């Protein structure tokens, strides 16, 4: 797990490129690279890791996009350097995600999914990784909406204010109610909030 290259495709690749300084390994000029970019992250892997957090925090997923031929590759050596962080976030998503309401997983089942299914077989692993990557893609959408939409009309001061406001929101989320998860975004469903708080208390 997290030992091979991973390709992000379509609109999510374009959005990722808007958020990161282009990888030094991407030597060729990419015709589909965005003209305007926030570039608030140094590497593609940094966008990937932060997107997983944002996708999970806002309970937002996205399907693989093929609306364009754009592609952004995260190399295996980047995963190798960040393996501990990748595994930690993967476990968190497996513990907290419950996107399929028809087949609702108990807490015990989610613990199994997070810690015991790694060696259960390729099919289980691929399914879990796809679930993880759906949160990464959802997080990329949120990051792009937060930092890149309307960017051509932004002044530097507008951009810095947006970063400050976003960081302040997350500071408030982490500090409210003695460490309980209390989202500012009212679109986060109550069930998701309760799951996080129950796991934090255990």
Residue 176, token pair as written in the block: 């409210």
In a domain, 196, yes or no: no
pLDDT digits (tens, 9 = 90+) for 160-191: 777 778 777 767 766 665 555 544 444 445 55
Residue 198 or 78, more confident: 78
Note whether residue 120 is domain-resident.
yes
d(CA 98, CA 164): 31
Domain count for the chain, please give it.
Answer: 1
Tens-digit pLDDT profile for residues 98-125: 655 556 777 788 888 888 777 777 778 8
What is residue 177's predicted lDDT score, i.e. its pLDDT?
52
Range of the domain at 79: 6-149
Closest by alpha carbon to 6, among 67, 90, 118? 90
- Is 119 part of a structural domain of the chain? yes
CB atoms near residue 183 (< 10 Å): 19
């Amino acid at each position: 797990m997290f030992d091979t290259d991973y390709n992000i495709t379509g609109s999510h690749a374009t959005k990722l490129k808007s958020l990161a300084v282009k990888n030094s390994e991407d030597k060729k000029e990419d015709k589909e690279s965005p003209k305007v970019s926030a570039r608030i992250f140094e590497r593609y892997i940094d966008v990937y890791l932060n997107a997983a957090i944002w996708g999970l925090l806002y309970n937002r997923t996205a399907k693989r996009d093929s609306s364009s031929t754009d592609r952004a590759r995260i190399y295996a050596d980047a995963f190798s350097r960040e393996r501990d962080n990748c595994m930690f976030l993967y476990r968190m998503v497996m513990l907290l995600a419950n996107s399929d309401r028809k087949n609702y997983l108990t807490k015990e089942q989610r613990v199994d999914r997070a810690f015991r299914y790694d060696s259960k077989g390729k099919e289980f692993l691929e399914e879990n990784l796809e679930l993880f990557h759906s949160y990464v893609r959802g997080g990329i959408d949120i990051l792009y909406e937060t930092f890149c939409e309307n960017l051509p009309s932004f002044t530097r001061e507008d951009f810095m204010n947006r970063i400050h406001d976003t960081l302040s929101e997350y500071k408030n989320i982490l500090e409210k109610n003695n460490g309980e998860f209390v989202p500012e975004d009212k679109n986060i469903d109550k069930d998701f909030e309760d799951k996080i708080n129950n796991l934090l208390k255990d």
